[in-house]
Amino acid sequence: MQTRTLSMLIKASLFTALPMLTLPTEAAQKTISELVDAVNGTPDELSRDAGKKVKLRNHANGFCTSGVFKPNPQATDAFAIPFFTQANIDIIARFSLGGINPLSSDKTTGRFMSLKLNGDNESLHFVTSNAEVFFASNLDDFFTFQTKIKQGNEGKQWLIDNKPDTKAFFDYVKKLPSTISYADNRYFGVNSFIFTSKNGESVAGRWIFEPVNGVRAVSANELAQKPDHFLQQELTERIASTPATWDLFVQLAEEQDKVNDPTIVWPTSRKRLLIGQVIINGQHDDSKATLECDKGIFNPLQLPKGISPSADPILNARSAAYIESFIRRN
């Protein structure tokens, strides 16, 4: 890791109270700075400086709201995770679209949900999307994807022709249902975590958020009638009367499953355990923490006792990249 990047990570950890991270060996092939440049489309010093001035960030089109998490009391029958023994845990949520354009159209199919569950003594963060599969299994392929996709149709075709994992991702996204609400989507944590069972054993699992009212798809014609920007207003008006609610599950891996590869979707036959319910109701939208939500990051490695990261290189690079991006725009 470059000296400059390491120095910034140390500074960031001091003012955000986030744990320092040990990146996998593979990260040496691409520095965190290079990965952020690929996402932001800032390959040289001139574009990087311009990006800092406009505070470039991924998921630029997004907004924050709030709610509560109600753990399933039976979750602690399976897992030794004291965090889930609390009755109610406050949530700060950020819903967003992908990409660095804050004015991107809401009519795309991609939806993202990030959550901070702030408990009495610990916190748990989630970074999820409505796609169950990721486009890269390693940092080199992540860098290549972000670089090529900014070349338009030519770059996308190169990825389809040369990167099978990316082609599978594009094929998956084509089949995603169009929705007119963030509340109408399933959300997935494509990366795996290691959970401590009640008897002290370790088991790998992935997060899945199922909307209580199901996925509601709309036709292309119905979506076309919407303005370019409607998702924030729709969710804000919805939760003013009826909360948006998801059941949170952990999908458990079996021995043959590849735990450290987010491009692989595990079979639906894998056991799922209900962890609790996410209720987005806007109850703390006037709080400083919610209003200043964008002044921090959602750190997927902010984990309570009993949950640890897998060896997935994509997962283990996320926090450092988020901190690097955060520093650039502040």
**Known binding positions for heme:** 322
CB within 8 Å of 124: residues ≥ 6 apart: 83, 116, 117, 302, 303, 304, 307
Contact 184, 111 (CB under 8 A): no
Alpha-carbon distance 43 to 115, whole Å? 30
Alpha-carbon distance 162 to 87, whole Å? 49
**Binding site feature residues:** 322
Marked catalytic residue, from 59, 125, 229, 284: 59
What is 260-327 written as a DSSP string? T-TT-PPPTTS-EEEEEEEEE--TTTTSHHHHTGGGS---TT---TTEEE-S-HHHHHHHHHHHHHHH
Alpha-carbon distance 288 to 90, whole Å? 13
Identify the helix (H) or strand (E) that includes residue 149: helix 139-149
Cα dihedral 132, 135, 139, 145, rounded to 10, equals -150
Alpha-carbon distance 135 to 260, whole Å? 14
Q: Which residue do the tokens 């004291």 mark?
A: 82
Alpha-carbon distance 117 to 159, whole Å? 36
What phi, psi does 79 have (nearest 5°)?
-120, 145
Beta-sheet pairing, 272-280 with 307-309? unpaired
CA distances 39 to 5, 160, 241, 248, Å, are: 16, 19, 37, 29
284 is catalytic: no
Could you list the active site residues?
59
